Structure 1
Amino acid sequence: MPITLTVPESLLSAEAEARVFAELTRALLAAAQLDGNPFMTPNVIGSLNVLPKRHVFAGGQPAPAAFIELTLPGIALATADAKQAFIEAATTAVEQAAEGRLRRDHIWTNIVYAAEGSWGIGGRAYDHAELIDAIQSAAAPALVAS
């Protein structure tokens, strides 16, 4: 589940960049109720786009701002509560990582859903049912061991 974080240069320290991605990953897995799932955890991936300050805008003017985009299959974070949980946790993670250099109201989150059957992992396309099966099958050994 790709997470893309876009920020201007100097907003995050090198340590904060890695830390914020760990927090964004935890936020997604928690909101999706998939903490520790051996299929999903390694498939939460991401990229950090660090742009020159003059290339990041809010209100049409260069400004310190952060943009979080999460791409998911249509079955993930399907409820308003799950979306709110992710957006709140992700916003807090980025705000804390910026260590006072970013206003909370300059952090935007966008959740985008991939079309049915177009979710690809390792060269394999999954439809919703296949993805659910892979997630549940990966969790099954952990449930049996409990």
Structure 2
Amino acid sequence: MPLTVITTQGVFTPENEKKLVPQLSALMLKVHGLTGNKFMTPVVIGHLNTVSPELIFSGGVPVISTFIEWKVPSFGFGTQQILNEYVEEATNIAVELSNGKLLKKNVFVNVVHAVDGSWGINGKAYTNIELGEAIQTNDAY
């Protein structure tokens, strides 16, 4: 399940840039009760993009900000409780790793639900049902 993080350059130290995606990924698995799942763990993949401070805007004005976006199947982040927990904890992780450079109000989290059958993993297109079965069997893909 791909994670994209976009942030203003310089918000995180190089060391903390390397921590951000792994911590957000671990949190995603945790809130879904999938920590250590042999199928899910390696398919939770993400990247961090840094953008010049002059090129991220809020209300048309440059702002130091971080965007956290997941693309998941329709059952991912399937309850408001899971969303609430993830958004709160992910925001806290980003703010903490910024060492005071990032304000909570400038961390944005969203989830995009992908089209059923669009999960290409190891050369196989998985449907939501097949993903659910693979997660339940807890076998490496």
TM-score of the pair, normalised by structure 2:
0.94
Percent identity over paired residues = 35
Q: Paired residue for 1:5?
A: 5
CA distance in 2, matches of 1:88, 1:3: 17
* Shift in Å, 1:66: 0.6
Q: Paired residue for 2:28?
A: 28
Q: Paired residue for 2:82?
A: 82
CA distance in 2, matches of 1:27, 1:48: 16
- Name the aligned partner's letter for residue 44 of structure 1: V
CA distance in 1, matches of 2:3, 2:90: 10
TM-score of the pair, normalised by structure 1:
0.91
User: Unmatched 5+ residue regions in structure 2?
Assistant: none
- Name the aligned partner's letter for residue 70 of structure 1: W
Deviations 1:52-88 (A, max 9, x none): 1111111211110110101101111211111111111
* Shift in Å, 1:123: 2.0
1:112 aligns with 2:112: yes
CA distance in 2, matches of 1:61, 1:123: 43
CA distance in 2, matches of 1:76, 1:94: 21
Helix, strand or coil: the match of 1:134? helix
Helix, strand or coil: the match of 1:50? strand
Helix, strand or coil: the match of 2:138? helix
- Name the aligned partner's letter for residue 109 of structure 1: V
Alpha carbon RMSD of aligned pairs, Å? Answer: 1.0
Deviations 1:70-119 (A, max 9, x none): 11011112111111111111111111111100110000011000011112
Deviations 1:16-45 (A, max 9, x none): 011111210111001111011011111111
CA distance in 2, matches of 1:33, 1:130: 18
User: Unmatched 5+ residue regions in structure 1?
Assistant: 140-146
